[in-house]
Amino acid sequence: MNVTGHILIIDDEATLRKTLARVLQQAGFEVTTAESAEQGLDFLKTTRFDMILTDLRMPGIQGLEALKLINANYPTLPVVLFTAQPDVNSAVEALRHGATDYLMKPLKPEVIIERTRSILLKKQTEKRKREITQQIESLQAELKSLEERESSILPAQPVNPSRVVDKERFIKRGPIVLDLQARRVIRDEQIVNIPPTSFDYLVVLARHAPDVVDYQTLVAESQGYQTDLRESQELSKWHIHQLRQAIEADVHNPVHLLNVRGTGYRLVTD
């Protein structure tokens, strides 16, 4: 992953401020400098930064006070403090108030670059993970909505499985009966609403019951296409979740739809 970012350097010492800016610019980062905490805080009101490097001890607002203000208003913005005076108590207090790191002067260019890249890489990775999670949740919500829409058009009249004579139409496993023609599930003479694709997963599990069906076979027989192991695990996990919501009395302690870790799922009805 290409690590980039806009960095704000706050230091009252002009030489150090310019040196840090040059080092980070040569490493590919965009840099803005401020000669005081007050100026740095003003910049934050109008410009988006990805990280802040600030001296701990400066005239006016001290670095620790600036840290508290930054953390209160921009809680996800990484802040690295540095100082020429070793003070364990100050370091601990800085970390307690939200500092990402605490460095001692003299600052070595390679350390600054490495630490900056490490912090920004972590930030970018966490942001991408949140984006992916949101996309997955959105797709799952859309999938659920579509399957519920399909399910809502199915006939809703109750069926007594004891009167059924067409063996090819029905699969009976314990208290669970699958009506292959109407594509619905009957449990204890009551219709259970299950999304259409999840119904296909239950059919496959019922046909193989009580044997284990591995993830890839489950997807292939339910949805008609081949997947790699990871994708098949994710697809199966989602549909088993849907089925457990409909069939299990306690979804957190399933007794019918059991996961055989690393292998697949099986249907148990006895």
Q: Where is average pLDDT lowest: 53-62, 89-98, 113-122?
A: 89-98
Q: What is the pLDDT of residue 163?
A: 42
Confidence of residue 248 (pLDDT cuts 50, 70, 90): confident
Confidence of residue 208 (pLDDT cuts 50, 70, 90): very high
CATH number of the structural domain spanning residue 169: 1.10.10.10
Q: Do the domain assignments include residue 141?
A: no
Looking at the fold, whether 98 and 176 belong to one and the same domain comes out as no
What average pLDDT is seen over the chain? 83
Which of the listed residues 87, 113, 129 is the one where a domain comes to its end? 129
pTM: predicted TM-score of the whole model, two decimal places = 0.51
- The residue written with tokens 């006939």 in the block is 155
Looking at the fold, whether 13 and 117 belong to one and the same domain comes out as yes
Looking at the fold, whether 14 and 81 belong to one and the same domain comes out as yes
Looking at the fold, whether 25 and 117 belong to one and the same domain comes out as yes
- Cβ-contact 50, 120 below 8 angstroms: yes
What is the share, in percent, of the chain residues with pLDDT greater than 70? 90
Asked if omega into 106 is within 30° of 0 (cis), the reply is yes
Q: Do the domain assignments include residue 260?
A: yes
Looking at the fold, whether 118 and 195 belong to one and the same domain comes out as no
Looking at the fold, whether 92 and 39 belong to one and the same domain comes out as yes
Looking at the fold, whether 119 and 62 belong to one and the same domain comes out as yes
Looking at the fold, whether 92 and 160 belong to one and the same domain comes out as no
- Strands of the chain, DSSP E: 6-10, 30-34, 51-55, 79-83, 101-104, 170-173, 176-179, 184-187, 190-192, 213-214, 257-260, 264-267
Q: What is the pLDDT of residue 7?
A: 95
pLDDT, mean of residues 49-70: 85
Owning domain of residue 18: 6-129
Looking at the fold, whether 107 and 21 belong to one and the same domain comes out as yes
Looking at the fold, whether 176 and 253 belong to one and the same domain comes out as yes
Looking at the fold, whether 189 and 102 belong to one and the same domain comes out as no
Looking at the fold, whether 193 and 110 belong to one and the same domain comes out as no
Q: Do the domain assignments include residue 150?
A: no
Domain total of the chain:
2
pLDDT digits (tens, 9 = 90+) for 68-96: 889 888 888 999 888 776 665 676 677 77
Q: What is the pLDDT of residue 65?
A: 85
Confidence of residue 50 (pLDDT cuts 50, 70, 90): very high
pLDDT digits (tens, 9 = 90+) for 210-223: 999 999 999 889 88
Which of the listed residues 73, 94, 129 is the one where a domain comes to its end? 129
pLDDT digits (tens, 9 = 90+) for 117-167: 888 888 888 878 888 888 888 888 888 877 777 666 544 444 444 444 455
Residue 19 parent element (H or E): helix 14-26
pLDDT, mean of residues 185-194: 83
Q: Do the domain assignments include residue 66?
A: yes
CA 117 to chain centre: 22
Q: Do the domain assignments include residue 142?
A: no
pLDDT, mean of residues 203-215: 92
Q: What is the pLDDT of residue 86?
A: 60
Q: Do the domain assignments include residue 137?
A: no
Which of the listed residues 94, 113, 129 is the one where a domain comes to its end? 129
Q: Do the domain assignments include residue 146?
A: no
Q: What is the pLDDT of residue 152?
A: 61
On the question of pLDDT at 19 being above 70, the answer is yes
CATH number of the structural domain spanning residue 51: 3.40.50.2300
Angle at the Cα of 186 from the Cα atoms of 184 and 188, rounded to 5 degrees: 170
